[in-house]
Amino acid sequence: MSMSHLYGRRTEEDDGVEMESFEVTDWDLANEFNPERRRHRQTKDQATYGIWADRDSDDEGERPSFGGKKSKDYTAPVNFISAGLRKSAAEEKKQQQKDPEDSEESDDGGSAPPPPPPPSSRGAAPKKLQTGGNFRGSGNQPQRFAGGVRTGQDIGNWEKHTKGIGQKLLQKMGYQPGKGLGKNAQGIITPIEAKLRKGKGAVGAYGNERTQQSLKDFPKVDSEEEEEKEFQKELGQWRRDPAGKKKPKYSFRTVDELKAKGKLAGRSAGTPAGELAQVKVIDMTGREQKVYSSYSQMTSKHSVPEEALPSRDPRPSGFTLPELEHNLQLLIDLTEQDILQSARRLQHEKDIVVTLSHEASALQSRLEVEQDAIRRVEAVLDLVERFQSGESAPGEGPSLQECAGIFETLQKDYYEEYKVMGLADLAVAVVYPLLKDKLRTWDPLKDSTYGLEEVGQWRALLESRQLHSTTPDANMDPYHRLLWEVWLPVLRSSVSGWQPRAVGPMVDCIEVWAPLLPVWIVDHLLEQLVLPRLQREVDTWNPLTDTVPIHSWIHPWLPLLQARLEPLYPPIRSKLANALQRWHPSDTSARLILQPWKDVFSPGAWEAFMVKNILPKLALCLGDLVINPHQQQMEPFHWVMDWESLLSLSSLMSLLDKNFFPKWLQVLCSWLSNSPNYEEITKWYLGWKNSFSDTLLAQLHIKDKFNEALDIMNRAVASGVGGYMQPGARENIAYLTQTERRKDFQYEALQERREAESVAQRVSAGLPTNFKDLIQAKAEENNIVFMPLVAKRFEGKQLYTFGRIVVYIDRGVVFVQGEKTWVPTSLQSLIDMAK
């Protein structure tokens, strides 16, 4: 396919041979930037056959075609084209000297137009396109192409003939006119310039062809000298030395390489170097069998490069001495072995030096530590020597405060030595005598705080948190031993002469010292010293003759002794029961003596004591009570009701039911049967009712008794017993009945309101109000699902799922579904089953 429509074509008349020209001609430039150029319209044959279609001669005159070769006209005469005269060597040299000067002037001025191409390089473009059109050039004005576009200027103005879609797309992507393309505007702004080559030589034949623009955009300069050296180096590889002048190649091995080979050989072998040196190796890999004394000799033969190995030359060698070669090789091997052994010994010595240096540094650091320890021990000894020895006279040594300062210094500055040497035991020999001398004149019952500050200071210094002694033994803490051997004997002698009824000083002393005492010493003090003294005093106590109540000197010990006082209660109850045998309820001293013991005795023991010793006396008192509406004596009834706070409600209601209400109702009935004054009866009824406390009136049994009295009065009024009826009596009794019933109703409503408030408080506090809420709370604590089953009931009871277990609740009891029946179970068992 011909390319003449792009670059032009030489005709047969030029040189007789058709050839393609690849130079850019003026026709190409003019038609490239000429939007108004005449476009060739294809004919029908061209559209059908393409390049094989026939073309008219008119078209060929105006525009190059795609047609094939034209047939040569061999009848035409031969035409010669003049190529010029060959110049001499001197003229060519002068011409070469002038060419660089011309090129420099053209580069500096920039106005000289490039020389026109030779006639042979011109294409056969139509004359109209060559000389006509809008192409015009001048030496004074910038070169213009078709359409008025200047070289390097007005780039992109040709878009005025289009819709400008390219410029719009570039601006949308962030392009700014006048700047280069790219993220950082690194693209070139001006188009690539072309530089005219002087002659017809190849690229680079006339020197550097880079333009000013390329030097500005790409400032890297090529090094011609380096290229020349590289070229000469590569060129020398193609040369071949003449035969017979080939130089021998020698292989050298340094000591470092030999050491490295020896190390690799030593690492690859699995036995020590001493054993490898004694191994005999037979090498049969070559043409001849060789024997080596060690593996290192065998590996050394492979260290010679392959190019250094002797080549198999078929020609006989003129100098062959195998014995000499063997001896030389043997000397080389021995030398290598000596070098390797010397290197190993040197490395061994270096390792020894490094090891010794490490040991020396470790010993030096250890020596420094030991010297520091010695200095610390000497300082500790200086502090210890300040304590008074046992042989020195009293008063010469340091005081308790000075000893405390020394111990504090030892613990703060020399803690390790203090613990390792057990310096806390020095307190036994140093501090104990001083503290014993200080407490010798101490009376705990007179001044309970004497020595408290000093002992508290030694507690902070001597007490160990790791030791928890419970009994006096050899491993006792120094502080505990100080209390056991110094402080406790003083208190023991004081307790031996103490009177238990003077309880205040002893209780105050123990309460003041209790925070500084260990638990086992406090227990020993209370159980072994105080409690025996109290037991002996209780044994000698007589409630009939003793003017001091026993609770006044027993109850102050309750916070300290607590349950340890239980052995004292049976003797006290026994003596009180003996004293109440001849007691009458009119004597109020018994109630004053027994009232403090209600909360001390257990509920069962207290109830039994009251039923056995008090209730019979009160029953006799009510039995002797005479109910006389006209002259009533209320003292016996008040003697009984004074014991209401000490008696249980059940015991008191039983007492009133048996000994008071039958007699009272009988008097009421007899009074109503003798034409009574109903106003007096009403006052009498309200007077007796007001004699009862609200607690008793709230009891159902007491309510029933008073309601029974109202019913008797209503029946008497309704039946007209006694003949004469007082005017308004019926209305008064009815009003009284209605008033009493209203009071009962209001009281019940008040009780219900209080219960509702208590339930609301428990709900707000998160406490369960019923058994179902309790089960729900336990299920939430244990992450168990508790929810009702929809439309599932058993005997009218709602069924629930507790985890995977089906249960129902009936009267505060949870039932679990068993194999055949429902089984009641506890809440904890239900939780265990659900888990």
Percent of the chain whose predicted confidence (pLDDT) is above 90: 5
What is the C-alpha to C-alpha distance for residues 417 and 410, in angstroms, rounded to an integer?
8
391, pLDDT greater than 80: no
Centroid of chain to Cα 522: 46
- With contact defined as beta carbons under 8 Å apart, do 499 and 445 qualify? no
Q: Determine the Cα–Cα distance for residues 262 and 277; give it in Å rounded to an integer.
A: 12
Tell which wins on pLDDT, 189 or 88.
Answer: 189
Look at residue 352 in the predicted model and tell me its pLDDT.
95
φ, ψ for residue 802 (rounded to 5)?
-115, 90
Using CA of residue 232, residue 233, residue 237, residue 239, what is the dihedral sign? positive
* Angle at 164 (CA atoms; ends 158, 166), nearest 5 degrees: 95
**Cα–Cα distance between 7 and 29 in angstroms, integer?**
10
pLDDT in tens, 164-183: 777 788 888 888 887 778 77
Token duo for residue 716: 């008497």
Sort 772 into a burial class: Cβ within 10 Å, 0-12 / 13-18 / 19+: middle
Residue reference for tokens 């000499």: 324
Task: Give the mean model confidence (pLDDT) for residues 792-796.
Answer: 83
Per-residue pLDDT reduced to its tens digit, 714-756: 777 776 554 445 555 555 666 667 676 666 666 667 766 776 6
pLDDT at residue 780 greater than cutoff 80:
yes
Using pLDDT thresholds of 50, 70 and 90, give the confidence band for residue 543.
Answer: confident
Place 331 in a pLDDT band, splitting at 50, 70 and 90.
Answer: very high
Check pLDDT > 50 for residue 57: no
List residues bridging with 801 in a β-sheet.
787, 806
Residue 422's pLDDT band (cuts 50, 70, 90): confident
pLDDT band of 359, cuts 50, 70, 90 = very high
Residue 511 DSSP class: H
Each residue's pLDDT tens digit, 617-666:
999 998 888 888 888 888 888 999 989 888 888 888 889 888 888 888 88
- 8 A C-beta contact, residue 798 and residue 788: yes
Q: Which pLDDT value is given to residue 360? A: 94
The pLDDT score that the predictor gives to residue 301 is 57
Question: Do residues 382 and 409 touch, judged by C-beta distance below 8 A?
Answer: no
283 phi, psi to nearest 5 deg:
-100, 115
Enter the DSSP assignment of 319. Answer: -
Please, where are the H alpha helices in 24-88? 26-32, 44-49, 57-62
- pLDDT reported for residue 247: 65
pLDDT number for residue 98: 59
**What's the chain's average pLDDT?**
74
pTM tops 0.75, yes or no: no
Per-residue model confidence (pLDDT) at position 734 = 67
pLDDT in tens, 464-476: 765 555 666 656 7
Nearest CA-CA partner of 627 in 659, 663, 673? 663
| Highest mean pLDDT out of 141-150, 219-228, 703-712 | 703-712
- Return the higher-pLDDT residue of 259 and 3: 259
- The confidence score (pLDDT) of residue 426 equals 78
Q: Give mean pLDDT, residues 497-526.
A: 87
84-98, 328-342, 790-804, 810-824: which has the highest mean pLDDT? 328-342
Instruction: With a cut of 50, say whether residue 133 has pLDDT above it.
Output: no
Supply 399's token pair: 């005081």
pLDDT of residue 361: 94
| For range 395-419, the mean pLDDT | 78
* C-alpha distance from residue 131 to each of 6, 7, 23, 151 (Å): 17, 17, 18, 19
Predicted confidence at residue 380, as pLDDT, reads 85
Where is average pLDDT lowest: 206-215, 296-305, 703-712?
A: 296-305
pLDDT of residue 253: 81
pLDDT reported for residue 353: 95
10 Å Cβ neighbour count for 107? 12
Mean pLDDT of 270-281: 60
Distances (CA, A) of 334 to 190, 286, 292, 325: 76, 22, 11, 14
